[in-house]
Structure 1
Amino acid sequence: MKKGLKKLMALGLVAVLAVGMAGCGSKKEEKASSAGATKIEQIKKDGKLIVGTSPDYPPFEFIISEDGKSKIVGADIELAQKFADKLGVKLEIKSMDFDSLLPALQSDVVDLVITGMTPDETRKKSVDFTDIYFTGKNGVIVKESDAGKVKSEDDLKKMKIGVQKGSTQEIYVKDQLKLTDYKALTSVPDLVMDLKNGNIDAVVLNDKVASINAGKYDGVKVVENLALTSGGDEELMAVAVKKGDNKELLAALNEEIKTLKDSGEYDKILANAVDQVSKEKK
């Protein structure tokens, strides 16, 4: 009896071990299969596209209140939705500080970064970029009383400048204007309030963003006819993806960007976002 019982117990133990090993092997195979999938395949498998953005740069990304809840909207968010629709998945937006976005992309917290980002040479070393979806110019806002004081970059160099932390404008102010005593904040509204309070003399922003903020806040104005000739006269925007073998994903994104630009649909998206900002100010 005991001998037979021991034999049965031994057989049972072997069976349990076999099942456990099979399960372990199955998990390893699943993990290996997932690891071998391309980014676009993984996105489709997950059923969602996770996009990181810093929602303080209207009309590209900003926050509104809808039915008592905060909602992130803007031209970049609409662009992200177009990408999600193309891939046949849901869109999930993750909000974070501007300078936290690329680390989040590199660590797979997000699939894409769409936040009015310029594909400069420094960023290209750490992430890949799509084709350009927006080309604009940089602008400067100052107090209304100081509007006549800024006529050249030499005038800017004598002022305390504010920029969004990690932005292409910060690179321009630091590398082109050679300023060290500038102020970099994560939030554009905070920069405008510092300007109004006299903590800084001017804010360098994308020209559309500058115009919107000048219209939104009393006492500030866009400097007109100011030529930023030292590499600060143009701002390009592209979508960032994790560096590596993302050719299939980049091709899909670039195809959609081309379609939207060629058809004029992107211009409509941007115009609608500008209108939405205007409505929020009323």
Structure 2
Amino acid sequence: MYDRERLATLSAVVEEGGFEPAAARLHVTPSAVSQRIKALEQQAGRVLVRRTRPCTATDAGTALLRLARQIAVLEGEVARTFGPATPAHLPIAVNADSVTHWFLDALAPLVAEHDVRLDLHVDDEGHTADLLRDGTVVGAVTTAPEPVQGCAAEPLGAMRYRAVATPEVVARWFDGRDPALAFPAAPRVDFGPKDRLQTRFVEMVTDRPCTGPAHRVPAADGYHAAVRAGLGWGMFTDVPARRETAAGQLVLLGGERYLDVPLYWQHWRLRTTVLDELTASVRRVAARALQQD
């Protein structure tokens, strides 16, 4: 059996990024943290923490880190049953557009009802399941339909995206041109290196690769502002795309063509009040906010 105190120390080192900040969080000395990690590594028979800046878990450490976090969730559930306890740490992975358009509405009732400390990890929806797999988060909004080992998965609906650009960008790059030639060449705005929405849309509409120059703006508000400023064309979710095209601020590209991105909610298979209510709230809000079959 692994010592609960040592597991909690492993979790603190990885979450805080080092031995000294972990010691401050645990109210012990850095030496005590080092001794606990060494004892845990001796018991496991392998290195668990990479002594880098920040400290990270090795593959073996990741397995124990997930165990540590599951124990913390269950202990917190029991502690709250008997009275006031430390706020529950609720790390969740979610894509930026979900945070902007609907996910916070699912979290608000949980925060109002329970003493929880949210820790949102914002990443591309195609990669959020990786954070669930390595034990960093307890739940994730993801495009992965197959449940991660030890997790449950359920469909939420789809986020609908439409290609838009300013009238000036349309006049310069698209007016009077075959979309198969215009889209691959026109400058676009990507959210970041993992963002393939624009590329997927171009391939769907033109059956050609998206080869134009790409500006990267990894911030939700900044991304929208970059498209509105005319840096290039980009993908907006359905509601703002239609609202701003109706106002004449932007122009729809590709006619009524759109790209639907199916989303799934994956979470640990742990039955706790907080996780159960979180899942119910995510399911309820997604049913209103996302495209349903």
TM-score by length of 1: 0.51
Q: Which residue of 1 aligns with 2:217?
A: 185
In structure 2, the partner of 1:204 is 235
Q: Which residue of 1 aligns with 2:183?
A: 156
Match of 1:133 in 2: 156
Match of 2:21?
Answer: none
| 2:75 is the alignment partner of 1:51 | no
Aligned partners of 2:149 and 2:218: how far apart in 1?
A: 21
Answering whether residue 269 of structure 2 is matched by residue 247 of structure 1, we say yes
Q: How does 1:1-282 map onto structure 2 within 5 Å? A: 27=5, 35=68, 37=70, 41=74, 44=77, 47-53=88-94, 57=97, 60-62=98-100, 74-81=101-108, 89-95=114-120, 97-99=122-124, 104-114=131-141, 117-119=142-144, 130-145=153-168, 146=170, 149=175, 154=180, 155-165=182-192, 166-167=194-195, 169-170=197-198, 172=200, 177-181=208-212, 182-200=214-232, 202-211=233-242, 219-223=249-253, 225-228=255-258, 233-241=259-267, 246-248=268-270, 252=276, 256=280, 260=284, 266-267=287-288, 270=289
Task: Give the Å deviation of 1:125.
Answer: 7.8
1:119 is paired with a residue whose SS is: coil
**Identity percentage of aligned residues:** 6
Secondary structure of the residue aligned to 2:284 is helix
Q: Does structure 2 conserve the Cα–Cα contact (< 8 Å) formed by 1:170 and 1:184?
A: no
* CA displacement, residues 122-162 of structure 1 (integer Å, 9 cap, x when unaligned): xx789967322232422011112428739986242342222
CA distance in 1, matches of 2:191, 2:240: 12
- Given that 2:198 and 2:234 are in contact with CA atoms closer than 8 Å, whether structure 1 keeps it comes out as no
SS at structure 2 position matched to 1:137: strand
User: Which string of whole-angstrom CA distances, capped at 9 and with x for unpartnered residues, describes residues 64-89 of structure 1?
Assistant: xxxxxxxxxx521122345678xx74
Matched-pair contact (CA < 8 Å) for 1:48–1:89: no
RMSD of aligned residue pairs (Cα, Å): 4.9
Q: Which has the higher contact order (CA 8 A, sep 6+)?
A: 1
Cα 1:111–1:138 shift into 2, 3 Å: same
Aligned-partner SS, 1:172: helix
Structure 2 counterpart of 1:247, one-letter code: R
**Aligned equivalents of 2:115, 2:108: Cα separation in 1:** 8
Aligned length: 212
- What whole-Å deviation, never above 9, does each CA across 1:37-66 have from its counterpart, x for those lacking one? 5786366356342334465x3xx423xxxx
Amino acid at match of 1:134: G
- Offset of residue 234 of structure 1: 1.6
Instruction: Answer with 1 or 2: which has the greater Rg.
Output: 1
Gap regions ≥5 residues in structure 1: 1-23, 63-73, 272-282
Q: Which runs of 5+ in 2 are unaligned?
A: 10-63, 79-86
Residues 157/78 of structure 1: CA separation in 2 closer, same or farther (3 Å cut): same
Instruction: Decide whether aligned partners of structure 1 residues 127 and 138 sit closer, same or farther in structure 2, where only a CA change above 3 A counts.
Output: farther
Give the SS at the match of 2:231: coil
Q: Cα–Cα, structure 1 residues 81 and 193, in superposed 2: closer, same or farther, change >3 Å?
A: closer
What TM-score, normalized to structure 2? 0.50
Measured at CA, do residues 90 and 144 of structure 1 come closer, stay the same or move farther in structure 2, by a change above 3 Å? Answer: farther
C-alpha distance in 2, partners of 1:93/1:150? Answer: 50
